[in-house]
Amino acid sequence: MTFLHQYPKAAKVAKANFIVAFIALAIGGLFGFIQALHRTDVFRGFFNSGEYYTLLTGHGVLLALIFTTFFIAGLFVWGVTRSLDREPENMTFTWSWFWLMTIGLIMTAVTILGGLVPDSSIRAAVLYTFYPPLQAHPAFYIGLALVIVASWMAGADWFWSYNKWRKNHPDERIPILTFMALFTMMMWYVCTIGVAVEVVGLLIPWSLGWVTEIEPLLPRTLFWYFGHAVVYFWLLPAYYVWYAILPKLSGGRLFSDAMTRIVFVIFLLLSTPVGYHHQYADPGISVGFKFYAMATTMLLLLPSLMTLFTVVASMEHGARQRGGKGYLKWIGKLPWDSPAFVGCALAGIMFAAGGFSGMINASMNINLLIHNTIWVPGHFHLTVGTAVALTFMAISYWLIPQLTGRKLKFKTLALIQPYAWFLGMTLMSNAMHRAGLAGVPRRTAEPQYSGFEFEPIFGTMAEMDWQIAIGGTILTISLILFLWVITASWMGGEKSDRPVDDYIPEPLSGAEHTPKILDNMKLWFALAIILVLLAYSFPLWEMISDGIFEPGALPRPS
C-alpha cells in the first residue's frame, strides 16, 4: 500500500499539480539555456536581443512563480493528506483551486509568449518583477492575480483539513508534516497581501486604462514586501523535505522535532519585514528602515544555521545506523548511490554556499558593489535554482512512485542527474559571481559595451562567458535527464504495491519534548503581522500620503 492506494483522490490532485510544474520547468529551463548562450555571445541565432527579454520574463515567471507554486501545492497535498490521514474535505473545492491556478498560469504564459509573435499587441516583456511604468497586457496581471488567489484557496483547503482533524484529535500535537505546511502557508498569506494589493489595487486598473498615471516606487515597494518572503515560500518546502524526508533517506530519523518547529516559527515572523534589502539602492526609503530590514535579514541566518545543524545531525545519525564511524568517515556511509538522497544533500551543500553570497547581498553598503549585477542571479541560482529546484527534482524520484504506484525507471540516469546539476551550477554560478564583482549587469541581452570594458579582478571576460555557457549546457542536460526519467517512470514504470520505501520514522527527540506554545498559530501569526506593520507602515504612508498615484509617470509598453 502506498499513497496512491490509500488516498486515491489526493494522489490525483498532487499528480495534476506536478504535471503542470514539470511542464513549466521544461519550458522555463529551455529559455534559460537559450539565455545562457545568448548573453555570453556564444550563440545568438535563436532570437534577437529584443526578444531576449521575453524569454527572460518567461524563464523567471515559469520557474520562480509557476514551477515552484505548483510543485509546492502538490507536495503539501501529499504531506497534509498523509500526516492527517484524511483525503481533502471537498474535492470540488480542491479541484477548483487547481483549475483556477492553471487558468491564471495560462493567461500569464500566453501574454508572455505573445512577445515572440511579430507585431503582436499581446506582450508582457516586463520580467518577473513587472516594475511599472513598463506595462504588460492586462491579462498578464489578471492571470497572476488568479494564481495568487487560487494559492490562498489551496492554503484554506489544508487549514480546513486540519480543523476537521483537530475536532477528532483535540489533545494531539499538530503532525510535523502538517505543521510545516501550515506555517509556510501562514507566511504566504502575510506576504502575498503586498503583491495582491499591488496587482489588484494598482496594476490591473492601470493596465486597463482606468487610471493613466502610476507612482513607480509604491508598486516596487509592495512587490518587495512580497518579493523576499516569496523566496522563503520556495525554500521552506525544501526545508520540509530536508527535515521530514532527508533523514529517512540517509537511513536514520529526524534529530529534533522541537528544532524543526522553532525554525518554521522564526521564518513566519521574519520573512516579510526584510523586503527593503532589495531596495538598498532606492531613493525614497530612509536609511533607518533599510537598517531595520538588514537586521531582520541577518537574524534569518539563525534558523538557516539551525537547519544546517539539525539536518547534518540527522544525516550523521542515519550514517551511523548504516555502520558509519569516525568524525568524518561516516560521510562515506551515506547512500551516495540513491538519486533522491544525493539530490537533497548536494542541494543542501549548495545552499550553504548561497548563504555566503546572501550575507554579502544583505550587508547594506557592501551590497552596492553588486546590486543588480550578475552576482545576484549567481546567488539565487544557488538558492532557488539549486537548493530549492534540485531538492524538488530529487524528492520527485521518491514521491512520484508513491503517487503513480510505479517504480522508478533508469535509475542510473537518475543518479547522474543531481551530480550533473551540481557540476553545472558550480561552473555557471562561480563565473556569474566573479563577473558581478567586475560590474557586469544582470538582466541584459548583451553585456558588452562600446565605450568601456569591464575589468575582472582576475581571469578574463571571455573565460567567464564560456564558463557560464558550459555550466548552463550541463544544467540543461541534467534537466533533460530528469524530465526523461520522470516521464518514462510515470508512463511505463513497473507497477507495484510498494514502489518505494515510504515509511517515515518518528524523530529522535519527539513532539512530547516540544514546548506547546510553538503550536499556537494565532499567537505567531499576530506577531508576524506586528513586525510587518513596524517595518512597512511608515514608509508606505509616506509614499501614499501625497496621493496613491502621485508623483505619477505615464505607462510605457514593454
Partner 1 sequence: MIVFFIATVVYGFVAMDLKVIGNYETIDPQNLSDTPFGTPGVKEVTKNGATEYEVYVQTLQFAFLPGTSSPITVPADTRITFYITSPDVLHGFDVAGTNLNTMAIPGQISKFTTIFPEAREYGIVCNEYCGPAHHIMEGKIEVVPKSEFDKSNLVE
Partner 2 sequence: MTENHSNSDSDSRNSSKRLVKILVIVGIGIPVLVELMTLFNLINVQIFDDEEVQEQPEPVAEVRQVTEGDTLFRDYRFPVTIELLRINVSAQEWRFELGLSVPDSVDREPLEIELDSMQLNSGKILAAGRNRSWNIQEGHTPPRIQAEWELPNGDIPGTLYISSFQQMQNDTASRVQQEVPLGNIPVRYNRE
Pairwise CA distance, residues 439 & 435, whole Å: 7
Q: Which is nearer to partner 2, 75 or 445 (CB)?
A: 445
Q: Establish whether the linkage from the previous residue to 132 is cis, with ω within 30° of 0.
A: no
Burial class (CB in 10 A: 0-12, 13-18, 19+), 201: middle
Grid cell locating 237: 518546502
Check if 498 is active-site: no
Strand, helix or coil for residue 498: coil
Q: Which residues in 338-397 contact partner 2 (CB under 8 A)?
A: 338, 346, 353
Q: Which does 510 bind (CB under 5 to 8 A by kind): partner 1, partner 2, none?
A: none
What contacts 293, CB < 8 A, 6 or more positions away? 273, 274, 275, 276, 277, 535
Minimum distance of partner 1 from residue 194's CB (angstroms): 18
Cell of 534: 513596524
The answer to the question of residue 282 lying near partner 1 (CB under 8 A) is yes
Task: Please report where in the chains the cell 534558523 appears, as a residue.
Answer: 303
- What track of x and - describes contact with partner 1 for positions 314 through 353 (by CB under 8 A)? ----------------------------------------
> If binding is defined by CB under 8 A, does position 312 make contact with partner 2?
no
Write down the H helix ranges in 271-372: 287-299, 301-321, 339-362, 367-370
The minimum distance between CB 299 and partner 1, in angstroms, equals 6
379 tagged catalytic: yes
Does 546 participate in binding partner 1 (rule CB under 8 A)?
yes
How many angstroms separate the CA atoms of 273 and 484, rounded?
Answer: 41
Cβ–Cβ under 8 Å, residues 374 and 426: no
Amino acid at 430: N
Residue 442 catalytic?
yes
Neighbours of 50 (CB within 10 A): 10
Let me know the angle formed at the C-alpha of 249 by 74 and 79, rounded to the nearest 5 degrees. Answer: 25
Does 361 interact with partner 1 (rule: CB under 8 A)? Answer: no
As a whole number of angstroms, the distance between CA 45 and CA 201 comes to 40
Rounded-to-integer distance, Cα 437 and Cα 326, Å: 40
Would you count residue 212 as binding partner 1 (CB under 8 A)? no
What cell was used for 288?
533607518
- How far is the C-alpha of 332 from the C-alpha of 476, rounded, in Å? 29
Q: Please, which residues have CB within 8 angstroms of residue 546's CB and are 6 or more apart in sequence? A: none
> Between vectors from CA 11 to CA 6 and to CA 14, what angle results, nearest 5°?
150
Please work out the total of residues on this chain that contact partner 2, with binding judged by CB under 8 A: 40
Contact with partner 2 (CB under 8 A) among 1, 45, 328, 522: 45
443 carries an active-site annotation: yes
**Residues, the chain, total?**
558
Binding-residue pattern over the window 459 to 478 for partner 2, x denoting contact by CB under 8 A: x-------------------
452 binds partner 2 per the rule CB under 8 A: no
CB 446 to partner 2: min, Å: 8
Catalytic residue, candidates 183, 189, 442, 536: 442
Select from 74-82, 177-185, 282-290, 330-338 the region that touches partner 1 (CB under 8 A): 282-290
Q: Cα separation of 279 and 366, whole Å? A: 13
553 lies in the binding site for partner 1 (CB under 8 A): yes
Per rule CB under 8 A, is residue 556 in the interface with partner 2? yes
- Binding-site member from 85, 172, 337, 550 for partner 2 (CB under 8 A): 337
Phi, psi dihedral angles at 17 (to 5 degrees): -65, -40
Does the protein bind partner 2 through residue 170 (CB under 8 A)? no
* CB 178 to partner 1: min, Å: 31
3-state secondary structure of 275: helix
Q: Which does 336 bind (CB under 5 to 8 A by kind): partner 2, partner 1, none?
A: partner 2
Instruction: Label residue 34 exposed, middle or buried (CB < 10 Å: 0-12, 13-18, 19+).
Output: buried
Q: Which does 444 bind (CB under 5 to 8 A by kind): partner 2, partner 1, none?
A: partner 1
- Residue 473 contacts residue 427 (beta carbons within 8 Å): no
Our answer to whether residue 278 is catalytic in this structure is: no
Q: How far is the CB of 365 from partner 1 (least distance, A)?
A: 4
Q: Which of 33, 67, 380, 536 is catalytic?
A: 380
Tell me the C-alpha distance between 30 and 140, whole Å. 21
* Cβ at position 45, least distance to partner 2 in Å: 6
Task: Tell me which residues in 57-116 interact with partner 2 (CB under 8 A).
Answer: none
> Is 232 one of the annotated active-site residues of the chain?
yes
Does 509 bind partner 1 (CB under 8 A)? Our answer is no
Secondary structure E strands in 390-430: none
480 binds, options partner 1, partner 2, none, Cβ within 5 to 8 A by partner type: none
Stretch that binds partner 2, among 69-77, 215-223, 294-302, 456-464 (CB under 8 A): 456-464
State the catalytic residue, choosing from 39, 253, 381, 434: 381
- Minimum CB separation of residue 375 from partner 1 in Å reads 11
Indicate whether 53 belongs to the interface with partner 2 (CB under 8 A).
yes
For residue 424, give the H/E element and its range.
helix 411-437
Binding mask 37-66 for partner 1 (x = CB under 8 A): ------------xx--x--x----------
Helix 8-39, helix 68-84: angle, nearest 10: 150
- Which positions lie near partner 1, rule CB under 8 A? 49-50, 53, 56, 125, 127, 131, 133-134, 215-217, 220, 279-288, 290, 294-295, 298-299, 301-302, 359, 362-366, 368-369, 371-373, 438-439, 441-447, 449-455, 542, 546, 550-554, 556, 558
Interface positions with partner 2 (CB under 8 A): 44-45, 48-53, 118-119, 121, 335-338, 346, 353, 411-412, 415-416, 418-420, 422-423, 426-427, 430, 434, 445-446, 450, 453, 455, 457-459, 556-557
Supply the residues annotated as catalytic.
228, 232, 379-381, 442-443
